[in-house]
Structure 1
Amino acid sequence: MALTRLLISNFRNISHADLLLDTGVNLFCGVNGSGKTSILEAVHMLATGRSFRSRQHKSVIRHDHSGLTVFTQLDTGFNLGVERLADGGGRVRINQAAAESSSQLANCLPLQLINSDSFSALDGGPGVRRRLLDWTVFHVEHLFAQEWKNYQIALKQRNALLRRGKIDPDAIGIWEHQLSQSGEQVDTLRRSQFEQLRAAVTTLLEELPPSLLNRVDMSYRRGWRKEVELAEALRESRDSDLSQGHTRTGPHRADLRFTVAGEPAHNVLSRGQQKMLVCAVRTAMAQLVCRHREKPVFLVDDLPAELDDHNQHVFAQWVGRCASQVLVTGIDEGTTSRPWRQLEAPWNCPKVFHVEHGNISADASAA
Structure 2
Amino acid sequence: MRLEELRIRGLRCLTDVEIELDPGINVFVGANGAGKTSVLEAAFLLSHARSFRSGAKEALLARGELRLSIFAEVRHADERVCRLGLGRSGARWEAKADGANVAIGQLVRECAVVCFEPGSHALIAGAAEERRRYLDWGVFHVEHDFLSGWRRYQRALKQRNSLLRASSTATDELFVPWESELAQAAQQLDRQRRSYLDLLRPKLVESVAGLLPELGPLDLRYRRGWSDEQELARQLREQRPRDLARGHTTLGAHRADWSIAFEGAPLREHLSRGQEKLTALACLLAQAELYAEHRGEWPIVCLDDLASELDQAHQAAVVAQLLSAKAQVLLTGTDIPHALHSLSTRVFHVEQGQLTRLL
User: Please, what TM-score do these two structures have when normalized by structure 2?
Assistant: 0.92
Cα distance in 1 for residues equivalent to 2:48 and 2:105: 7
User: Aligned to 1:199, which of 202, 211, 214?
Assistant: 202
Deviations 1:265-306 (A, max 9, x none): 431122222211111111111111111113211111001111
Residues 299 and 326 of structure 1 are in contact (CA less than 8 Å); yes or no, is this contact kept in structure 2? yes
Which of 75, 86, 101 is the equivalent residue of 1:82? 86
- What is the CA distance between 1:236 and its match in structure 2? 2.2
Which residue of 1 is the match for residue 183 of structure 2?
Answer: 180
Q: Which runs of at least 4 in structure 1 moved beyond 6 Å after TM superposition?
A: none
Which secondary structure does the structure 2 equivalent of 1:211 belong to?
helix
| 1:58-77 equivalent positions in 2, closer than 5 A | 58-75=58-75, 76-77=80-81
Residues 185-241 of structure 1 show CA distances to partners (whole Å, capped at 9, x for unaligned) of 1000000111222222112222346412x2432200001111222222222222221
Q: What is the aligned length?
A: 353
Residues 1:23 and 2:18 aligned together? no
Q: Structure 2 vs 1, CA of residues 91 and 193 (structure 1 numbering), >3 Å: closer, same or farther?
A: closer
Give how far 1:90 is off: 5.8
Residues 261 and 54 of structure 1: is their aligned pair in 2 closer, same or farther, counting only changes over 3 Å?
Answer: closer
Q: Cα–Cα, structure 1 residues 327 and 96, in superposed 2: closer, same or farther, change >3 Å?
A: same
Which amino acid is the alignment partner of residue 18 of structure 2? D
Question: Which residue, out of 149, 155, 158, partners 1:156?
Answer: 158
Distance 2:247 2:139 in 1: 30
Q: State how far apart, in whole Å, the 2-side matches of 1:134 and 1:26 are.
A: 28
Q: Which moves more between the two structures, 195-204 or 109-118? A: 195-204
C-alpha separation in 2, matches of 1:90 and 1:296: 22
Mapped to 2, the partners of 1:26 and 1:63 lie a distance apart of: 27
* Separation in 2, partners of 1:239, 1:262: 42
Per-residue deviation, 1:162: 1.2
What's 1:113 paired with? 115
Which residue of 2 is the match for residue 295 of structure 1? 298
Partner amino acid, structure 2, of 1:273? Q
Q: Over the residues paired in the alignment, what is the CA RMSD in angstroms?
A: 2.0
- Residues 297 and 323 in structure 1, CA contact (< 8 A), matched pair in contact too: no
Give 1:142-153 correspondences, 5 Å limit: 142-153=144-155
Contact 2:212 2:275 in 1 (8 A): no
Contact 1:197 1:285 in 2 (8 A): yes
Identity %: 38
Work out the CA distance in 1 between the residues paired with 2:61 and 2:138. Answer: 30
Contact 1:10 1:61 in 2 (8 A): yes
Amino acid at match of 1:189: Q
Q: SS at 1:191's partner residue?
A: helix
Higher deviation after alignment, 259-268 or 229-238: 259-268
Tell me which residue corresponds to 2:100: 97
Q: Secondary structure at the match of 1:292?
A: helix
- Corresponding position of 1:352: 347
Tell me which of 310, 317, 331 is aligned to 2:334. 331
How has the CA–CA distance of structure 1 residues 321 and 176 changed in structure 2, closer, same or farther, with 3 Å as cutoff?
farther
- Contact 2:211-2:282 within 8 A present in 1 as well: no
Q: Whole-Å Cα distance in 2 between the matches of residues 290 and 316 of structure 1?
A: 17
| Other-structure match for 1:243 | 245
Structure 1 unpaired stretches of 5+:
343-347
Could you say which residue in structure 1 is the equivalent of 2:53?
A: 53
> 1:296·1:323 contact (CA, 8 Å) conserved in 2?
no
Which stretch shifts more, 61-70 or 34-43?
61-70
Q: 1:162 to 1:264 in 2, by over 3 A?
A: farther
Instruction: Indicate if the aligned counterparts of 1:29 and 1:330 stay in contact, CA closer than 8 A.
Output: yes
Q: Which residue of 2 aligns with 1:363?
A: 358
Query: TM-score under structure 1 normalisation?
Result: 0.90
Deviation of 1:56 (Å) = 3.6
Q: Secondary structure at the match of 2:124?
A: coil
